[in-house]
Structure 1
Amino acid sequence: MLTARFSRPPSQLPRKTLNFSDRVNGARGSLLFHSASFVPVDRRTYAASVNPVGSKAVLVTGFDSGFGFSLAKHLHSEGFLVFAGYLMKVRDGSGLVNNAGISMFGDVEFTSMEPTYKEVAEVNLWGTVRGTKSFLPLIQRATGCAVSVSSRLGRMAHAAGPPYCITRFGVEAFSDCLRYEVHPLGGKVGVVEPGNFNATTSLYGAERIQAIANKMWDELPEGVRKDYGRKYFDERVAKMETYCNSGSTDTSPVIRAVTHTLTSATPYTRYHPMNHYCWVRMRITTHLPGAISDRIYIH
């Protein structure tokens, strides 16, 4: 059960009014929103867990950085036989963690099909599909679990993130299809949707952001440069730097979510290890009409 606890009385919260009108009969109205200054209280209990033994094996991709290394160490401490890095044949495939991922930023007109879109999709989407298909027979025999580390950006998109967002939306759809298919056979599928952990995953550092931005600007067609201008381009890059520097450095919520997915007899379909802002925005974006969420976060 997910609930929310206000940090202050609603009457003391900052407000935002959204005005609307009915185009058919001309009626007008307004909706009053309080800012998201409340604390989501996740009352999900990690129950129905089993104690893994040494014969339980799990493959963790993306071992070299980000969540992968910490996750592999944690699962090993829990008693799993951990295979990390490249896909390899194991005797008992009890679990798979699709964790490998790369990212790229830039507006649609700033990013190229090759290598940008192709490289990101090759790792984030097709890597997940290929790894799952290769390991799935072992998981099925062991009635194990396939876990994909996706992102909140697989549920809600944002500007300057199309190469990354489309791959995460794809992982979400692939995982849903797979969950429907393996359920009758006793298999389990879970998706973990982390919030902003850029400060920990090292996907972007200040030097790398600037290097990508400079290369991107140099390769833009002259017409695109004139249409947007360098000032707009630099503002987008500055927003990306701010976003990357504001992420959480505590990966334990992600590690706990993946571990529960692998060890629970009845794992959740989705886990949301993220801060309060991301938690609220994702629910507004996915549960309210697009016109309302656009008015709050875009207009």
Structure 2
Amino acid sequence: MSTFSETVWLCLAVTVVLGGLALGNLRKIPGQMRRKVVCLAGLWGGAYLLFSLSLSWGLILFFLSCVLTYTYLSGQELLPVDQKAVLITGGDSGFGHALSKYLDELGFTVFVGVLDEKGSGAEELRRTCSKRLSVLQMDITDQQQIKDAHSKVVEKLQDRGLWAVVNNAGIICLPADGELIPMTDYKKCMAVNFFGAVEVTKAFLPLLRKSKGRLVNISSMAAGVPMEKLAAYSSSKAALTMFSAVMRQELSKWGVKVSVIQPGGFRTNIAGTSEMWSKLEKNILDHLSSDVEEDYGKDYILQQRNYLKSINIKTNTDISPVLQDIRHAVSAKSPFAFYAPGALAYCLLFFVSFSPTGIFDYFSKKLCEVRGSMPRALIKQP
């Protein structure tokens, strides 16, 4: 057998072994790991086809890809639960509620901050979860409630330490053109989505530094993708995303790892109810000047709730990708800095980041035209 043939067979053998080990590790890792490995394999396969490499070079490159993949995946293995303690805010409903149940089932000690400790969401958690889960009254815009929750966490954990904080609590308000959104709604979004998360982070960071644990902030795809009618919400989430990036750099010297989750379209209770929309519409109309109301028209303003209805129809009811990514951020040896669960979430963030602004704005404008709603002053009279 020639030296060349021996090299080919050696590469093939090592490729099979490392590929098998990589796939074995992949099966243990939830969430988006599969997408990344498939993309990596596709990259090498595409390079092979594009450059028409010989079999030997193709095997060598695939061998190298398997080495890189295996090395990469070795840092993505999940740490043992060992009843690690996790604090989750916004556990009344949505992601926070489902995440609390999910982590409790996995064996974590879960502290759930809720807006109403006597509400149906809190009662359901007490009824369905284990004794390891504790429900805490925690309005994250109330500094005293944050302090009280901190005291209860410290009292229960004593010397065990807090492993992770998941800042999940958030609101969206009524989507509308930025000019129509009252300043009270801008401030409310910032108070909950940004300042509240910062307040919670600052309160619990000493515990995270002690355990060299994890800080996970739930942002939104809207933080990186400009979306009409979400000026208040997107701005607050963009602030949270940048805060997470800065904290990731600053806390690395303490051994604390920081991740931000930017979900795409998933259906939760954040959109609110018809009764809530009516109150928000009244708030908008009460704060408009006469000339702005004249230009936009009351009919246009009252149609804004249709945006939320369309969100509820088009969004995904299966939130398991979000839960799996949060679990990975909490448990992986080397969690990612950014996660984007959801169909096309990564694609949209990539498109906005690297495509010419004019192209994105063109498609956004066309989408707005399809929806067919225009301010009164812009409607062409027959």
TM-score tier (shorter): 0.7 to 0.9
User: Quick one: which amino acid aligns to residue 178 of structure 2?
Assistant: V
In 2, the alpha carbon distance for the partners of 1:166 and 1:84 equals: 26
Aligned pair partner of 1:281 in 341, 348, 351 = 348
* Equivalent in the alignment of 1:108: 178
Q: Partner of 1:193 in structure 2?
A: 262
Q: Deviations over 1:137-172 (max 9, x none)?
A: 110110100000110011112111111011100000
Residue 297 of structure 1, aligned match among 350, 353, 364 = 364
Q: Is the CA contact 2:172–2:270 (under 8 Å) kept in the aligned structure 1?
A: no
Give the Cα–Cα distance (whole angstroms) in 2 for the partners of residues 129 and 48 of structure 1. Answer: 29
- Asked if the contact 2:271/2:308 (under 8 Å) is kept, the reply is no
What is the CA–CA distance in structure 2 between the aligned matches of 1:279 and 1:297, rounded to whole Å? 17
Relative to structure 1, is the Cα distance of residues 69 and 240 closer, same or farther in structure 2, using a 3 angstrom cutoff? closer
Q: RCO higher in 1 or 2 (8 Å CA, sep ≥ 6)?
A: 1
Give the TM-score normalised by structure 2. Answer: 0.63
Return the offset for 1:280.
Answer: 2.8
Structure 1 counterpart of 2:108, one-letter code = F
Per the alignment, residue 232 of structure 1 pairs with 300
Q: Give the equivalent residue in structure 1 for 2:53.
A: none
Q: Which runs of 5+ in 2 are unaligned?
A: 1-35, 41-71, 114-137, 139-148, 367-382
> Which structure has greater strand proportion?
1
1:245 alignment partner, one of 270, 288, 313: 313
> For the Cα contact (< 8 Å) 1:209–1:241, is it kept in 2?
no
The Cα of 1:80 is off from its aligned counterpart by 1.2
Q: How many residues are aligned here? A: 256
Shift of 1:224: 0.7
Kindly report the root-mean-square deviation, in angstroms, between the aligned alpha carbons of the 2 structures. 2.1
C-alpha spacing 1:134/1:182, structure 2 compared with 1 (3 Å): same
Post-superposition shift, 1:77?
1.5
Cα contact 1:58–1:97 (8 A) shared by 2: yes
Match among 53, 74, 79 for residue 50 of structure 1? 79
Cα distance in 1 between the residues matched to 2:220 and 2:270: 15
CA distance in 1, matches of 2:201, 2:287: 36
> What TM-score does the superposition give when structure 1 sets the normalisation length?
0.79
- Tell me the alpha carbon deviations over residues 57-86 of structure 1, each in whole angstroms, 9 at most, x when there is no partner: 110000111111110111112121111113
Give distance in 1, aligned partners of 2:228 and 2:162.
39
Q: 1:120 aligns with which of 186, 189, 197?
A: 189
Greater Rg over alpha carbons, structure? 2
Question: Match of 2:231?
Answer: 162
Q: Name the residue aligned to 1:204.
A: 272
- Which sits farther off after the overlay, 187-196 or 278-287? 278-287
| Counterpart among 80, 96, 100 of residue 68 in structure 1 | 96
**Alpha-carbon contact 1:67-1:201 (below 8 Å) kept:** no
Change beyond 3 A, Cα 1:244–1:213: farther
Query: Is this contact kept in 1: 2:82–2:108, CA < 8 A?
Result: yes
Query: 94-103 or 200-209, which moves further after superposition?
Result: 200-209
* Percent pairwise identity: 30
1:220 paired residue number: 288
Q: Aligned equivalents of 1:98 and 1:183: distance in 2? A: 19
Q: Secondary structure at the match of 1:255?
A: helix
SS at match of 1:108: coil
How far residue 210 of structure 1 moved from its aligned partner, in angstroms, is 4.0
Runs of 4+ in 1 over 4 A off after TM superposition: none
* Structure 1 runs not aligned, ≥5 long: 5-43
Q: Distance in 1 between matches of 2:346 and 2:236?
A: 21
More helix by share: 2
